[in-house]
A and B are shown apart, each in its own frame.
Chain A
């Protein structure tokens, strides 16, 4: 089911709507947000200069640092009294980023999430268990309201107490699971420990996963435990922009549809800031064009993706962003080529003779960057020919993925470092040489 008529507008209709909302938003932030007015004045651009959608490029970017600098309410475009909700993202360093919603913003948010729930196959018949942590984090409440709005039955079970989660699934007949991919896998593990087969003994047929990268390997792993027929879609958002609901994957699995009537996407070269043409990979930049509380202009998400504007087989015409492959923070520049560790990971996971652990080492020899990928052998052999074949296959796939020659270094099965938290898989030694 397609939730809103805006999801099937013609490109022309969509662009007309976007321009109207963009002009209104830019005028409003210029008037109401001194921080933005100063930035625009510095850049020498006035609201009236935005005559076409392409003029968006004249406006300055907004970054996470801008949000920190204006903590807590400096970027808000409404009086504090008009806010009906505040969320905050957990800042790992320093102050959290604070976001606020007016009543109208909550309606917008709910509508956006209802759309992505429908994209993932949800309907009013579903019993939806929300296994995201409730609280200052936007994920749980966003999915909660969006799913409730389409008429699904909500079980706000939050995270933790996994055995009880499985009990709810059994006793309440949960059909739809909202979780991070890794928690969805963890829940399946707990079910199995309890003697419950998630694929056979539970009724979960839809998984809306988010707030964490869903790799192909994880998707496959989820199918293996939750059943081949479970519909798994990922969705995208961040609290600065609204929370979940910026975009979501439909059942065609060809990227995530962006709610373009609320968010204008751009792709930029994260180094030069230049806007790249459709289909090219770069950093996603989002402008909120229908928000009252916190309408961010050209917000740099640091997420790396590509945009596709061809209408989708699902019937929606909204622009799609490719499922995420990495963040610009993780990007390496090797011999002028942008390389993401996630691309290398994808290759390694596809070679069955290799284990999943790896280390990327970048060095400089003379004037040239050298990329070495250390990987663990997963297969025992007595043959040099076999070892060379594994090296060659892996190097060939890396060349295909990155367009770069890489040296593959085979290691014994447990020689690389293991990480419990965020893995540190890159050793860039160029600066030390």
Chain B
């Protein structure tokens, strides 16, 4: 399933991450999952939220650099090798996997967020 992901550029400075969260909270944007990857100077805060466009608008107003992009959310059974199988299908189509992170691991199935170079084609390869 294709979902909209909100990515925010954050300097590694005290209070910046908290500021992102408070802007989202103030505007009633609910966070389903997130990942923070960083270098020594800055990071990219990636979020799956219920209202990505509203989140983007409000964060931009608050002076953040952010972008909404398409990612795949894939459900997989809790069994060894299931993630690998999925990724194989994507790479077989010569689609690059840029990064991935977990969305939900409760229940019988797990979900992962996968960023690829071509989300539409990747979704088709998995269907």
In the complex the two chains form, what is the Cα distance from A383 to B7 in whole Å? 9
A254 to B114, CA, bound (A): 54
Report Cα–Cα, A3/B39, bound state, in Å: 61
Looking at the assembled complex, report how far the CB atom of B77 sits from the nearest CB atom of chain A, in whole angstroms: 29
Taking the closest CB of chain B, its distance from the CB of A352, in whole angstroms, is 14
Contact mask for chain B residues 6-26; partner A; CB cutoff 8 A; 1 contact, 0 none: 010111000010000000000
B46 and A412 contacting across the interface, CB-CB below 8 Å:
no
B81 at the interface (CB under 8 A from A): no
- Per DSSP, chain B at the interface is strand
Across the interface, name the chain A residue whose C-beta is closest to B6. Answer: A382
User: When chains A and B are docked, how far (Å) is the Cα of A37 from the Cα of B88?
Assistant: 89
For A414, list chain B residues within 8 Å (CB): 63
A412 touches which one: B5, B7, B9, B44 (CB < 8 A)?
B9
Choose one: B5, B42, B46, B63; the contact of A387 (CB below 8 Å). Answer: B42
Report 27 cross-chain contacts, Cβ distance below 8 Å, ordered by A residue.
Answer: A377-B65, A380-B7, A381-B7, A381-B9, A381-B67, A382-B5, A382-B7, A382-B44, A382-B67, A383-B98, A384-B39, A384-B44, A387-B9, A387-B44, A409-B41, A410-B11, A410-B42, A411-B11, A412-B9, A412-B10, A412-B16, A412-B63, A412-B64, A413-B64, A413-B65, A414-B63, A415-B11
Say which size band chain A's interface belongs to: 10 to 19
The answer to whether B9 and A410 have CB atoms under 8 Å apart is: yes
Interface residues of A in 369-408 (CB under 8 A from B): 377, 379-384, 387
**A residues near B, CB below 8 A?**
377, 379-384, 387, 409-415
Do residues B9 and A380 form an inter-chain contact, with CB atoms below 8 A? Answer: yes
B60 CB → nearest A CB, Å: 8
Given A380-B66, A382-B67: 5 more A-B contacts, CB < 8 Å: A380-B7, A381-B9, A382-B7, A382-B69, A410-B41
| B37 close to chain A: CB less than 8 A | yes
Return B23 CB to nearest CB of chain A, in Å: 12
Contacting residues, chain B, for A413 (C-beta < 8 A): 63-65
Q: Could you tell me the distance between the alpha carbons of A383 and B64 in the complex, rounded to whole angstroms?
A: 15
Q: Mark B27-67, 1 if CB is under 8 A from A, else 0.
A: 00000000001010110101000000000000000011111
- Are the C-beta atoms of A384 and B37 separated by less than 8 Å? yes
Q: How far is the CA of A151 from the CA of B16 in the complex (A)?
A: 63
Report the separation of the CA atoms of residues A384 and B115 in the bound assembly, to the nearest whole angstrom. 13
B65 touching A382, Cβ below 8 Å? no
Q: Please encode chain B, from 77 to 105, with 1 for each CB lying within 8 Å of some chain A CB and 0 for all others.
A: 00000000000000000000010000000
